[in-house]
Structure 1
Amino acid sequence: MLAILGFGDGRDIGNAFGVVVILVMFITTILLTLVMIVIWRAPLILVMLYFVVFFILEGVYVSAVLTKIPEGGWFPFVISIILAFIVFAWYYGRQKKLNGEAKEKLSLDNLRDLLSSLEIQKVPGLCIFYSKIQDGFTPLLRHHLMSIRSLHEVTIFTTFRYLLVPKVNPCNKIIIKKLGIHGLYGCTIQYGFANSFNLEGDDYVSQVINILKDHIRQNCDGHSPDTVNEEILQLESAKEMGVIRVHGKTRFHISKKNSSLDKLLLEFYEFLHRNCRSALPVNGIPTEQVIDIGMVYNI
């Protein structure tokens, strides 16, 4: 509506629309050529036959509409620049946040030292602690332990790993490992771009517990059957006591050492992040079981 009111002329709107259509066709030809070479591995002669014919044909169209850019054809370029800025600001801010979290992450030895230095109370129940750190522990855990001084008797640190495949085999979707500290386990949920996963309800929790039981039974070397059974009973008891899901909310403080462009991108990212929808309902995570932990990073 704003574009129609702004141009006030069907001719300029037609020029803008024509530039978009021709450029989309031109870009599609280039991308499809790459798909034919990289993905389909088509014979080079067929690829060149397709590319040369359509590149010349659409190149003529593109050269014809370039003269229309000053007469309304500039509008789609402005929209593209705005959208590109939004996407880049989101990516840049997210990477800054992930890098800051990775620098402050805890190692297994750090966690052992922290648990031994603090008087941590063990709370009955099962805690699923969501984290973005693949190797190590999120610094939110340190913040949680130093603030609350408690930890559930069974805590499963859960991370998500995106794979460049359409779908992940169900048997490889959930990977469980013991972390070397009693009651602490790691869980990695792998998914592809065509996968849909739901983390809601007892089905997901039961699936994780069953996989964890199998992992304990298969890696019981050096442990007596009584010890293995005791650990399995602890899992079942913790599940019966109730499930809590801990989710971190991180913000960052923009330091003065950043350049003006960095400050602009990071402040815009913070604006987007404050107004975006939470990923919890989308992933099927029941919000009534979620405890949010907030933390601020200096960037």
Structure 2
Amino acid sequence: MGHFGARPIRFAWYGLVLPCLILNYAGQTAVVVDAALGQEPNPFFALCPAALQLPLVALATVATIIASQAIISGAFSMTRQAIQLGLCPRLNIAQTSATGYGQIYIGFVNWTLMALTLGLTLGFRSSDNLAAAFGIAVSLTMLLTSILMFLTMREIWKWNLAASLLTAGLFVVVDMSFVSANLMKVLEGGWFPLVVAAVIFFLMMTWHQGRDLLVKKLERDTLPLATFIAQVGAKTRVPGTAVYMTSRLDVVPVPLLHNLKHNKVLHDRIVLLRVVTASTPRVAPDLRIDVEHVGSNFHTMTVRYGFMEQPDVPEALDQCRQRGLIFNMMETSFFVGRVKIVAERRSRFAAFQAHLFEIMHRNAMAATEFFRIPPNRVIELGGQVEI
């Protein structure tokens, strides 16, 4: 869906895949019926003459390779969406096509998938042993999809409760039967997808909670923007534009306070820039940028991107001409904070999670690189925060 959109998938499904599946399953049913009600060990390969079985194996192998590539590409897209939604640390994302936005490569995800695949191959040794793990993964995916469909009906399509329960409930009942049947195979290998899912959820929860706690700690040491502007109106100004990346526009960014504290000056023009990720795949161009002039040559700017879009701050600044802000990149400096995480001895954030968050934060991709800010225009101001 993320790579091709809904329309091509609908055409492919109804025009090719669904008819072929119906014919295939109908053929296998005929083979089973003809072979004394289930005597045939493998009805799929019995559909063709013996001379065509090897080419059929080759075709099935090619289909498996295509399916694995789809899984890899899907993992890349979902990882980028998780990063944009604040559920995953920033990772290095390589755009492999100038025209296809969905064609990306994430090295960390690719190597992780390789390690898990090799581990599964060495641990389970045969596809028969993987059947339990596969059944748990597929049945739970179907159940979660049905639950998400119910939420979509209620929150996006605005269906009433009765219609949503009736429609989604039919799928949930069927999916629950598959899940309950596969739960009998947890000890036979079905535990693996459950463990992987639990680990991924724990990492995402740790990152999300850690980021929230970090932002609260940083905002505790700042003050309202209006108060700050009133206090620094007479401060010495130096030529140029300073852009401060921030998550809130109503308070003063910590790097701005540090810059004033140590350098005793302010730039002639100061822009507080906030990048927001919308809950939609893409944001319309006319809704992307909001600019507000708050006095004393201070400006606030909000740039919105969909969770399928790659932020590009220099491009957004270039689009501000019609909103009264003209940027010369050679006279613009970007100030960002570089925070070192230190775990508190007595903290509501568990010690293990705090250490794990510190590792994730330390190895995350730099915000300037993620937002495509020219590195020669960046000034980093460090600090230490206890969580």
TM-score w.r.t. structure 1 length?
Answer: 0.78
Deviation of 1:241 after TM superposition, in Å, equals 6.2
Task: Write the distance in 2 (CA, Å) between the matches of 1:48 and 1:239.
Answer: 56
Does 2:338 match 1:249? yes
Sort the Cα spacing of 1:48 and 1:173 in 2 relative to 1 into closer, same or farther, 3 A.
closer
For structure 1, the 5+ residue unaligned runs are 214-235
Q: Is 1:90 paired with 2:207? A: yes
Q: CA–CA distance in 1 between the matches of 2:317 and 2:171?
A: 53
Compared CA separation, residues 241 and 124, structure 1 to 2 (3 A): farther
Structure 2 residue 358 is the aligned partner of structure 1 residue 267: no
For residue 15 of structure 1, what is the aligned residue in structure 2?
132
Give distance in 1, aligned partners of 2:329 and 2:191. Answer: 62
2 CA distance for matches of 1:110 and 1:179? Answer: 11
Label 1:263 to 1:134 Cα distance change in 2 as closer, same or farther (>3 A): farther
Q: Residues 146 and 67 (structure 1 numbering): CA distance in 2 closer, same or farther, change over 3 Å?
A: same
Say which SS state the counterpart of residue 320 (structure 2) adopts: helix
1:17-166 superposed matches below 5 A: 17-42=134-159, 47-107=164-224, 108-110=226-228, 112-113=230-231, 121-166=236-281
CA distance in 1, matches of 2:261, 2:239: 19
Please identify, of 11-20 and 102-111, the stretch whose mean Cα deviation from structure 2 is larger: 102-111
Secondary structure of the 1:152 match is strand
- How much has 1:8 moved relative to structure 2? 3.7
Q: Aligned to 1:92, what secondary structure does the other structure show?
A: helix
- Counterpart CA distance in 1 for 2:166 and 2:260 is 64
Q: Mean Cα displacement is larger for which, 71-80 or 281-290?
A: 281-290
What's the counterpart of residue 312 of structure 2? 198
Match of 1:207 among 319, 330, 339: 319
Are the aligned partners of 2:244 and 2:255 in contact in 1 as well (CA < 8 Å)? no
Once residues 101 and 131 of structure 1 are traced to their aligned partners in structure 2, the CA distance between those partners, rounded to angstroms, is 11
Aligned mates of 1:68, 1:150 — CA distance in 2: 67
Question: Residue 184 of structure 1 corresponds to which residue in structure 2?
Answer: 298
**Shift in alpha-carbon separation, 1:161–1:262, aligned structure 2, 3 A:** same
SS at match of 2:313: coil
CA 1:96–1:60 in structure 2 vs 1: closer, same or farther (change >3 Å)? same
- Percent identity between matched residues is 25
Q: Deviations over 1:16-59 (max 9, x none)?
A: 11111111112212221332333224576764554343333322
Question: Kindly tell me: are residues 134 and 205 of structure 1, through their superposed partners in 2, closer, same or farther at Cα, counting changes over 3 Å?
Answer: closer
RMSD: 2.7
2 CA distance for matches of 1:24 and 1:195? 26
Runs of 5+ in structure 2 lacking a partner? 1-117
Deviation of 1:126 (Å): 1.8
Q: How does 1:232-247 map to 2 (within 5 A)?
A: 239=328, 242-247=331-336
Matched residue type, 1:91: H
Q: Distance in 2 between matches of 1:50 and 1:264?
A: 43
Partner of 2:69: none
- Matched residues in 2 for 1:53 and 1:23: separation? 16
Q: Distance in 2 between matches of 1:254 and 1:7?
A: 39
- Partner Cα separation in structure 2 for residue 114 and residue 72 of structure 1: 65
| Secondary structure, counterpart of 1:35 in structure 2 | helix
